[in-house]
Structure 1
């Protein structure tokens, strides 16, 4: 069902101010920056071994990341689990009584299909299921 930890999402106020720590201080590789309009965020992926850190900067005051930062401050937002057949995984989780934020996957960064599980069903951890397109990303 779950293949790996795909990435850990970290909410930040500013990519420009946050990235130097990860790239210059820790020496991690910046893979790229992209805007995800549907989520109202700009994201930067930093490679760390087989996984990535996804830094999320809100692009709008009404984005979920802006709300998160306002309530909790900057920090870990979610853990993304790499899966295949995300639609099947969502149906399976639903039959097991897991509350879903997204009943159907939506498109996220790198054109991946994503869906979030509700923290009330996951021990207060926001989990994202992530199915990458077959592009080696």
Structure 2
């Protein structure tokens, strides 16, 4: 964890990490993004805690490990968060994720600034990252994810 005081945090986000897209069928979505858009699958996993099967896809040749990705999120069950999202809104843009260096300091700063976060403490995200979310009502209607990559890992 970085030794950052709340007053020192000016630039909370270091990069756009990814854009999350809810999809009903991950295999179909992967086939579309790779076959139609020519993207490359960088990572795929099942996250039981979050209730999703997911894939991170990237534009281009896949050599850019630090650039933003597209996260395809398929529900493991209809009552998962993504399952409920698709039921309410249909498939589509679900969240915008920003990369942070110290999720604990950034979360404390955002709370100090009056924003609500969905979790009291960060949870496990893709590739053992630590994640939390800013409530959409406090972020202009956008679900904002905060992502601290796993220590020693590349951006994804």
Please give the TM-score of this superposition, normalised by the length of structure 2.
Answer: 0.85
Cα deviation, residue 32, structure 1: 2.4
| Structure 2: stretches of 5+ with no match in the other structure | 1-11
Cα deviation, residue 108, structure 1: 1.0
2:44 corresponds to 1:18 = no
Report the counterpart of residue 137 of structure 2 in structure 1: 120
Report the counterpart of residue 16 of structure 2 in structure 1: 5
Q: Give SS of 1:2's match.
A: coil
Q: Distance in 2 between matches of 1:99 and 1:92?
A: 11
Report the counterpart of residue 68 of structure 1 in structure 2: 85
2:100 corresponds to 1:83 = yes
Compare the two structures and name the one with the higher strand fraction: 1
| Structure 1: stretches of 5+ with no match in the other structure | none
Stretches of 4+ aligned residues off by more than 2 angstroms: none
Q: Is this contact kept in 2: 1:90–1:103, CA < 8 A?
A: no
Q: Is this contact kept in 2: 1:80–1:130, CA < 8 A?
A: yes
Cα deviation, residue 95, structure 1: 0.5
Find 1:41's aligned residue among 45, 52, 61. Answer: 52
CA RMSD of aligned residues (A): 0.9
Compare the two structures and name the one with the higher helix fraction: 1
Cα deviation, residue 60, structure 1: 1.2
Cα deviation, residue 46, structure 1: 0.1
Q: Give SS of 2:14's match.
A: strand
Q: Distance in 2 between matches of 1:99 and 1:123?
A: 13
